[in-house]
Amino acid sequence: MTATIESIEELRQEALAALQAADESGLEAWRAEWLGRQDGRVTLLLRSVRDQPQEQRAQFGAAANALKNTLEEAFQERQEALRQQQLQDLATSGAIDVTLPGRPQPHGRLHPVTQTQRDIIEVFGEMGFRVAEGPEVEWAKYNFDGVRIPEDHPARDMWDTIWVDKEIGGRRDMLLRTHTSPNQVRVMEHQAPPIRVVVPGKCYRQEATDATHEWMLTQVEGLAVDEGIRMSDLKGVLYEFARRMFGQDREITFHHSYFPFVEPGVEMAVDWPTAEGGTRWVEILGAGMVHPEVLENAGIDSSRYTGFAFGIGVERVAMLRWGIDDIRHFYHNDLRFLRQF
């Protein structure tokens, strides 16, 4: 039977009445019957537009489309009304108490070492240092040779290295980086002076752990290379960093130290009040003036440029900030500890 304009109105009434009568389980069947893509009654109606006499086609088509839109909207409304009704029923039957406050969602937070790493980067960022990153699995060429620790040199024993047991190109010289200093070379290979950069990241050493040593540690490497950079620039920058990190009252000391990639080399330590009322020094970083050979290894003219570099131990800084007496707390994943920060 060919539908007429009048029959469209009848269809509308029939469909809406059926929708009102449908419950949760009848809804889908209603949708299939009326709006189904293949043979829904409205779909068939739309398809029959072409069978209409030419002069009625436009009007018929518009009416059929309007019917489709009306039914789609009505369907959405009915679905929502049934959902509300269902909630209402649950509430009145006592199955749920809608007046109870919602359950709070637990919030995560940043790990104290991550917080400290970010704060360190921010302090240096304000002093003009940008951030770079490098790989945790590193080549010996960068971790050692590039910073003047050649093979068989006793300085390789400064850190017990975790090597990757894989031969590449006839050599086994891939390792978990022992420090962030290989990034000095990586940065200088790609950037000409002036350079001001900090490189954060995890490092790994075969360490016996104790209250101040972990086998996985976080460092923030710093490097500045330019014309006329001097030791006093290094001290000024590190003093400013310590003041911003620990406040005015914390005491800082520098003492001489040896690293093959600097000359001269220093370590910086911060005072730690002991239980007996005294203080002791906790070393937080190694630093120095970049050795000219390190500059030359990376293709920088050491007769023109000088630089300073440092490697800060992030866990140690976090310990000093918050008075944490044992580094091992950081990686035990005890929420009672981690929630305090």
Q: Which residues bind ligand YSA (CB under 6 A)?
A: 179, 181, 205, 207, 213-214, 217, 219, 259, 261-262, 265, 283-288, 309-311, 313, 315-316, 327
Q: Which of 22, 269, 298, 309 is catalytic?
A: 309
* 314 catalytically annotated: no
Is residue 262 flagged as an active site residue? yes
Active site residue 269: no
By the 8 A CB rule, do 309 and 291 touch?
Answer: no
Q: Which of 179, 196, 321, 329 is catalytic?
A: 179
Residue with Cβ nearer ligand YSA (60 or 159):
159
- The residue among 112 and 311 lying less far from ligand YSA, judged by its C-beta, is 311
Task: Report in angstroms how near the CB of residue 169 gets to ligand YSA at its nearest.
Answer: 26
Q: Which is nearer to ligand YSA, 65 or 257 (CB)?
A: 257
> Which helix (H) or strand (E) segment is 38 a member of?
none
Q: Enter the DSSP assignment of 192.
A: P
Structure tokens at 38: 């293949």
Choose, from 262, 287, 290, 317, the residue flagged as catalytic: 262
Place of tokens 């917080």: 115
Q: Are 288 and 263 in contact (CB under 8 A)?
A: yes
- Smallest distance, Å, CB 285 to ligand YSA? 5
CB-nearer residue toward ligand YSA: 219 or 297: 219
What whole-number distance in Å separates Cα of residue 289 and Cα of residue 230? 8
**What is the closest distance, in whole angstroms, from the C-beta atom of residue 313 to ligand YSA in the complex?**
2
- In whole angstroms, the minimum distance from the beta carbon of 162 to ligand YSA comes to 12
From 332, 341, 328, select the one nearest 212 (Cα to Cα).
Answer: 328
Measured from the CB of residue 188, what is the shortest distance to ligand YSA in angstroms? 13
Q: Which of 31, 156, 186, 205 is catalytic?
A: 205
Task: Specify the residue for token string 């866990």.
Answer: 315
Classify residue 202 by its DSSP letter.
E
Q: What residues are paired with 202 via a beta bridge?
A: 218
Q: Shortest gap between Cβ of 151 and ligand YSA (angstroms)?
A: 18
How many whole angstroms separate alpha carbon 204 and alpha carbon 214?
A: 9
Length of the chain: 341
Q: Which pair of structure tokens corresponds to residue 16?
A: 């809406």
Residue nearest to ligand YSA (CB): 313
Tell me which of 132, 140, 219, 270 is the catalytic residue: 219
Which among 30, 78, 156, 159 is annotated as catalytic? 159
* Least distance from ligand YSA to the Cβ atom of residue 137, Å: 17
Between 78 and 177, CB nearer to ligand YSA = 177
Residues 219 and 294: their CA atoms lie apart, in Å, by 20
Q: What is the 3-state secondary structure (H, E, C) of 143-176?
A: HCHHHCCCCCCHHHHHCCCEECCCCECCECCEEE
Dist CA 110 CA 318 (whole Å): 13
* C-beta closer to ligand YSA: residue 52 or 178: 178
Q: Which of 110, 124, 115, 113 is nearest to 242 (CA)?
A: 124
Nearer to ligand YSA, 287 or 298 (CB): 287
Q: How far apart are CA 227 and CA 80, in angstroms?
A: 71
In the residue annotation, 309 being an active-site residue is answered as: yes
Active-site amino acid positions: 159, 179, 205, 219, 262, 309
